[in-house]
Amino acid sequence: MKVGTGRLRRRLDKYGVRYTLVKGWDSPAIDPYGGKNDMQGILLHHTAGRDSLNYICHTNPYAPVRAAHFLIARNGMVYVCSGSGAYHAGRGGPWRINKSTVIPKDSGNSRLYGIEIESLGTSPRIDGTPAGMTVEQVISTALLCVALLDAMRPGPVLYGVDRVIRHRDWTSRKIDVQQALPWWRDVIRLALDYRKDPKAAETAIRRYVRDHPKGQA
């Protein structure tokens, strides 16, 4: 469904997401789809770099269009780069989410939220090294996914973790992210289960990551 910037922001607040709005995040000037998005799912990426905020928002080849909707910084801060369109998925798909929902080939950008997690992406470990990720990034990604799963639903039924995949699941051209998909879905499911209490969600996710530090479920 179409998700506007107001609805998106209300969901971020509702689920305790710690975020910073990047200037221009809600401007029509950065939206290649003229407000006509049809959000259905979520793609997880890693940046393969450091300090990627400026690239995503301002210096990528398609700027002022942004290269992702969100950036998860090393300390877990969620930077909201775009509340509308972004170029992050590229060629790939189709992705059959369920019987009635398919993301058509090469059309993920207007239908999938892109979350970039700051990491060199050379290790799947959640060990705080630049090669891997920090546990704060995992917690923030999970809480953000809950907010988005709620924002995208047209009816009373909350969307599930089957709406989340990795960039490498969308296209064989990409290797991000390194952790197993069932591992990410476990983490996001914990955030969903504890969605009324973000602190409890954080505790549960920390425990899960401690028991599964290599990104394998």
**Residues near Zn ion, by CB under 5 A:** 45, 167, 176
CB 162: neighbour CB atoms within 10 A? Answer: 12
Residue placing its CB nearer to Zn ion in the complex, 167 or 195: 167
- 177 versus 188: smaller Cβ distance to Zn ion: 177
Would you say 124 or 198 has its CB closer to Zn ion? 124
Q: Report in angstroms how near the CB of residue 182 gets to Zn ion at its nearest.
A: 19
Comparison of 108 and 198: residue with beta carbon closer to Zn ion: 108
Q: Residue 116 CB, nearest distance to Zn ion (Å)?
A: 7
3-state DSSP assignment of residue 137: helix
Give the Cα separation of 14 and 5 in Å (integer): 14
Residue among 155, 76, 19, 104 at smallest CA distance from 8: 19
Collapsed DSSP state (helix, strand, coil) of residue 204: helix
Taking the complex as a whole, the smallest distance from the CB of residue 45 to Zn ion amounts, in Å, to: 3
Q: How far is the CB of 176 from Zn ion (least distance, A)?
A: 4
Q: What dihedral do alpha carbons 55, 175, 38, 93 form, nearest 10°?
A: 140
